[in-house]
Amino acid sequence: MFPQQVLPFGYFFVYAAFGISGFVLGWVAQRGNYCFVNAMSSVFTTKSYYRFGGLLILFGVSSLLTGLLVVTGVVPAVDQYYYNYFSGWYVVVGATIFGFGATMAGGCNLSMLYRAASGYVQNMLELVGMMVGTYVFAVAIWPFQSYTMANGILSTKLGAYTEYIPYDLFHSISQVSVGVTAVALGFPLVALGILLQRKTRSTRPLAAALAPTAGASLAVARATSAGLGPLPSVGLPQLRLGLSGAKEMLLLRRPYGANLSSLLLAGALALVFVAGAGYTFNYLVITSSDGGRFLEYILMPFGVNLALGTPWYNDALPILDPSVLMVIMLIVGAFMASLLSGDLKLRIPRQKKRLGIGFSGGILVGIGVRTALGCNVGLMWTSFAQLGYDGILFLFAMLLGVWIAVRVQRRLV
Amino acid sequence: MRGQATAVRPRYGRLVAPLILALFAVGWYQFSIVYIQRANDQLVANNNLAVYVSVQQVQGYLAALLDATLLTISAALIAFAYFFVKLVMAKSRGPPSPAG
């Protein structure tokens, strides 16, 4: 069965929807200082679960939203599972490498982009490193990996409905089975997220939760407190948001809370889920493929077309897709948000070694995300919205990578 | 304090940033028209249809990108005008106080 178009407005509309979604992503992530790595590393460094709880809420709300759209018949089930990836050793290995590299470099695929757009030189170098890492993956790892995928060596061979939890549980893709799965997956995630946030609030005073170290790994947090590192100070929990608070947010004087950001980001995902159905990969993709694609683009003016002969570029990466416009508009959104809020500033770390760490961490990010077949957004978050199980594998493997990186950073500092 | 505008040093970077954004938008649009289309055509010429993108999709991209580019340039120019007025107003109030 092939994907079915929900909205018959053509590719202009699809690209426009992805562009709007990208802008929202960049704007909200910048204003909320939303970072997956930040959320995970704070669990190990400051024992703060606030932002990690926000992540779980994001995953839960996303699966509930997409599930609701399928259950109500707005989007056919095939459009939810069609782009479920293969699953195998590479998801675990790649996510671990990614978690390690991103923590060392100071940003996940989402935060790398909006921080680079806000003037963080370390994250700009991480982006460049990611392009290099993607090329390394393409020539050194992809031929072997695609062989294991084609032959089912520690890998599934189909993807799509075979990794669709409603099908795996009920051998059915009926609206009832999708609804039950979405509720069974989404509600516990939201509940766990809220529970973790409450636990953090109850075990520490608000002042501690508002400290700049709340989301940062140890080394990065120290650098941040000195105004040097890649992770800017974070206004974390917004316990009560009155009218004046909302006004302050609209006027860009106050950052968005983690939960508000999660809800807005889930809305951006729902937009492309409907608009892209039947046309393309109808979920959010950040730089996991575009890291490679932008290297391809950079080389084009020099007469080099990687898509003609380089592995992966010539068989797995379409030369263009809606994620390109989404990433461009994400950069524009983050740039505008940081400019209008007064956050825009070229920030060069005082410790020059952090530039090298950013670049080499970026290389690991590139290798990790391509090996895993996606990043924290394009695979992990997306998989929860797809009602697949790759996201769960990715989550635990990424946590492992982040944990290792935090241990390494403790030794380095 | 918020009311002491004279203590705020003018930030010229805020004037330059919107112009950089507008240039980025124009540059990316021009790049897309020239290079992405050409690279896509090269794929057809070399019979590599695995990563080739249909003409409708490229046209949809360029049409949406054109609108996005125009919107971005408009927003950048508005931001430039806003910060320019703020800068002129700050300058007209005199230099920053020594305490600032």
The conformation of residue A120, written as its DSSP 8-state character, comes to B
**Chain B partners within 8 Å of A313 (Cβ):** 51
Q: State residue B97's pLDDT score.
A: 60
B43/A301 CB distance under 8 A? no
**Chain B partners within 8 Å of A16 (Cβ):** 64, 67-68
**Chain B partners within 8 Å of A332 (Cβ):** 21, 24-25, 68, 72
Residue A315 has its nearest CB partner, among B14, B36, B51, at B51
Q: State residue A86's pLDDT score.
A: 87
Nearest C-alpha of chain A: how many angstroms from B63? 6
Predicted TM-score of the model (pTM) = 0.89
**Chain A partners within 8 Å of B64 (Cβ):** 11-12, 15-16, 19, 325
Residue A169: phi and psi, rounded to 5, are -85, -45
Which residue of B lies nearest to A333 if distances are taken between CA atoms?
B72
Question: Any CB–CB contact under 8 A between B40 and chain A?
Answer: yes
Q: State residue A221's pLDDT score.
A: 41
Hey, is A47 helix, strand or coil? coil
Question: Any CB–CB contact under 8 A between A321 and chain B?
Answer: yes
Q: Which amino acid is at A86?
A: F
SS3 letters across A344-387: CCCECCCCCHHHHHHHHHHHHHHHHHHHCCCCHHHHHHHHHHCC
Nearest C-alpha of chain A: how many angstroms from B40? 7
CB under 8 Å to A340, separation ≥6 — which residues?
Answer: A252, B79
Q: State residue A216's pLDDT score.
A: 39
Question: Any CB–CB contact under 8 A between A7 and chain B?
Answer: no
Q: Hey, what's the torsion of the CAs at A305, A310, A312, A317, to 10 degrees?
A: 10
Question: Any CB–CB contact under 8 A between B53 and chain A?
Answer: yes
Interior angle at CA A112, CA A328 and CA A15, nearest 5: 25
Q: Which amino acid is at A276?
A: G
B53/A321 CB distance under 8 A? yes
Q: State residue A157's pLDDT score.
A: 83
Q: Which two tokens stand for residue A50?
A: 């606030």
C-alpha span between A104 and A123 (Å, rounded): 11
Contact A86, A155 (CB under 8 A): yes
CB under 8 Å to A98, separation ≥6 — which residues?
Answer: A364, A365, A368, A369, A372, A375, A376, A398, A401
List the one residue out of A129, A131, A123, A128 whose CA is nearest residue A334. A123
Question: Any CB–CB contact under 8 A between B57 and chain A?
Answer: yes
Q: State residue B74's pLDDT score.
A: 97
Q: State residue A267's pLDDT score.
A: 95
Residue B64 has its nearest CB partner, among A12, A314, A315, at A12
Q: Mind listing the pLDDT tens digit for each residue in B30-68?
A: 999 999 989 999 999 998 888 999 999 999 999 999 999
Q: State residue A253's pLDDT score.
A: 83
Question: Any CB–CB contact under 8 A between A337 and chain B?
Answer: no
Question: Any CB–CB contact under 8 A between A319 and chain B?
Answer: yes
pLDDT grade for B2, boundaries at 50, 70 and 90 = very low
Per-residue pLDDT of chain A (413 residues; tens, 9 = 90+): 788 888 899 999 999 999 999 999 999 999 999 999 999 999 999 999 999 999 999 999 999 999 999 999 999 999 999 988 889 999 999 999 999 999 999 889 899 999 999 999 999 999 999 999 999 999 999 999 999 999 999 998 887 788 899 999 999 999 999 999 999 999 999 999 999 999 998 886 554 444 443 333 344 444 443 333 444 444 444 455 678 888 888 888 889 999 999 999 999 999 999 999 999 888 887 667 787 789 999 999 999 999 998 999 998 888 998 999 999 999 999 999 999 999 999 999 998 899 999 999 999 999 999 999 999 998 999 999 999 999 999 999 999 999 999 999 988 76
**Chain A partners within 8 Å of B61 (Cβ):** 11, 15, 320, 322, 324-325
A320/B48 CB distance under 8 A? no
**Chain B partners within 8 Å of A314 (Cβ):** 48, 50-51
Question: Any CB–CB contact under 8 A between A19 and chain B?
Answer: yes
List the one residue out of A321, A278, A294 whose CA is nearest residue A18. A321
Residue B95 pLDDT greater than 60, yes or no: yes
Question: Any CB–CB contact under 8 A between B22 and chain A?
Answer: no
Hey, is A388 helix, strand or coil? strand
Total Cβ atoms within 10 A of residue A300 = 20
B13/A344 CB distance under 8 A? yes
**Chain A partners within 8 Å of B70 (Cβ):** none
Which residue of B lies nearest to A324 if distances are taken between CA atoms?
B61
B52/A344 CB distance under 8 A? no
C-alpha span between A320 and A315 (Å, rounded): 13
Q: State residue A205's pLDDT score.
A: 58
